[in-house]
Structure 1
């Protein structure tokens, strides 16, 4: 499932290859992926415009759009959510393409657009496509990004401490709350808590300052490692999130449970 690193790879692909290209057609016929818009609504809003800036905050991504023709009045914001399997593909019309987004273990053959759920066609013959086999992504105009918490890659120490200072939720559940801190998914949360040697079920109001600061450093380290490695599938704890696995640091059994509604793994000794 795409987390912050995968969404950042999709955003960077849009930034490198899709900006300032005039949109001449839009396929928004998938009524589930483009909810709540009716077919043709997004198309009507985007024709003649171009994407001007690609943004990301946490796991959410959106693009500013230009005016039509010589108009300087900007168009609507185009929100794109990758769901649980989405990739952004930019094809140039001559058979070349670049993509970014979710990691597919079996890969994707160039030109395989079977699972295209939304696309933009550009005046120069190129296309932007959202390829989404599980059909859990979403494309919408003017998404409510103001509800998102600080980005996990950019959150400051004081912001992080404030985020953990309220309530008594399990610490993993708080990390997964996108209105508290945006961008941490299930795998990043398990990696960060393992690095910080904290139990995922620990209530946030029981963490002291040193533990909170340790977790902050662990989150930054986990996010950085996943971006550098090419996605959350490269995190060091991933091979050990399985039955009969042992902690790669101390050798104790890895335990499995459910925290914040998500399958969770932790070290039986160091994260007791």
Structure 2
């Protein structure tokens, strides 16, 4: 599932491979992915424009056109989306088997795409012959003009220590639910939350308002470090705890059996000995 690090990789791919390219054709026929726009509305707005800047906050991306003079294209990867540009891809991490298939297929993230073009949910074709595709088997991604981002809190990778303490360290909600509330802190998903809380040695079920400043500072540092490591290593799935999130899983540090529960409606794993 794409979280902040995977979305940042997709944004960086757009910045690296799609900017300063003129849009020749847009396929916006998937009315669910492109809602609330009618078919042809994104095409009319974007055709002839040039992509000029790629931005991100949390798990949301937007691409400016014509140096900000044109409309903004908002892109969201949903639960399993990837961005493909001329064969390069970033977003939802590939399994080991998919990686092998991609390598055998010359780098394509899913060699079955040609057999099921419906998975190409939104496509921008450039005047130079290349293309940008929102590829999404589960059809939960979005492509929208001029997205409203006002409901998002500060980016989890950029928030200051004082702002983090003020926004996170309040209320009776379980801490994991608090840091995954995108209006409080943008970008923390389920795996990143479990990994960061494990690194910070803080229980996900503690009421957020009970944490002191030292604990909140430690959690912020853990979130930032987890995010940096995941970007560098290729995704949140590379975290130290993540491979142990299973029924027989044990804490990678102390060896204690991990606890599993639903916290904030999400499956959560933690070490009962170290995370208090």
Settle same-fold status: TM greater than 0.5. Answer: yes
> Are residue 160 (structure 1) and residue 149 (structure 2) matched?
no
In structure 2, distance between residues paired with 1:140 and 1:157: 33
Any idea what the Cα deviations from partners look like across 1:87-136, whole Å, max 9, x if unmatched? 11111xxxxx2111110202344454332100001111110111111111
* CA RMSD in angstroms, aligned pairs only: 1.3
| Structure-2 residue corresponding to 1:83 | 78
How far residue 145 of structure 1 moved from its aligned partner, in angstroms, is: 1.3
* Higher mean displacement: 76-85 or 101-110: 101-110
Quote the residue 1:94 is aligned against. Answer: none
Offset of residue 146 of structure 1: 2.3
Shift, 1:165, TM fit: 3.1
8 Å CA contact 2:169–2:216 kept in 1: the answer is no
* Whole-angstrom distance in 2 between the partners of 1:213 and 1:17: 37
Hey, what's the Cα distance between the residues in 2 that align with 1:75 and 1:81? 20
Within 1, Cα distance between the matches of 2:129 and 2:249? 50
- Residue aligning to 2:182: 178
1:14 is matched with: 14
Aligned equivalent of 2:195: 191
Return the offset for 1:50: 1.1
Cα distance in 2, alignment partners of residues 252 and 123 from structure 1: 57
Distance 2:92 2:6 in 1: 5
Q: Distance in 2 between matches of 1:136 and 1:104?
A: 17
Check whether the contact 2:169–2:210 (CA below 8 A) recurs between aligned residues. no
Residue 272 of structure 2: which of 261, 268, 271 is its match? 268
| Contact 2:170–2:210, Cα closer than 8 Å, also in 1 | no
| Unpaired runs of at least 5, structure 2 | none
Specify the alignment match of 1:142 in structure 2.
146
Question: What CA deviation, in whole Å up to 9, does each residue of 1:172-204 have, x standing for no partner?
Answer: 001101111111100000011111111111101
Residues 1:206 and 2:210 are matched in the alignment = yes
TM-score normalised over the length of structure 1: 0.93
2:251 matches 1:256: no
SS of equivalent residue, structure 2 residue 159: coil
Q: Superposed, which structure 2 residues align to 1:27-176 within 5 Å? A: 27-66=27-66, 74-91=69-86, 97-105=87-95, 106-107=98-99, 108=102, 109=105, 110=107, 112=111, 113=113, 114=116, 115-176=119-180
Deviations for 1:242-264, whole angstroms, at most 9, x for unmatched residues? 01111111111101000011000
The answer for unaligned runs of 5 or more in structure 1 is 68-72, 92-96
3-state SS of paired residue (2:150) = helix
Report how many aligned residue pairs link the two structures: 262
| Greater percentage in helix | 2
C-alpha displacement at 1:205, in angstroms?
A: 0.9
4+ runs deviating over 6 angstroms: none
**1:165 & 1:254 partners in 2: Cα distance?**
25
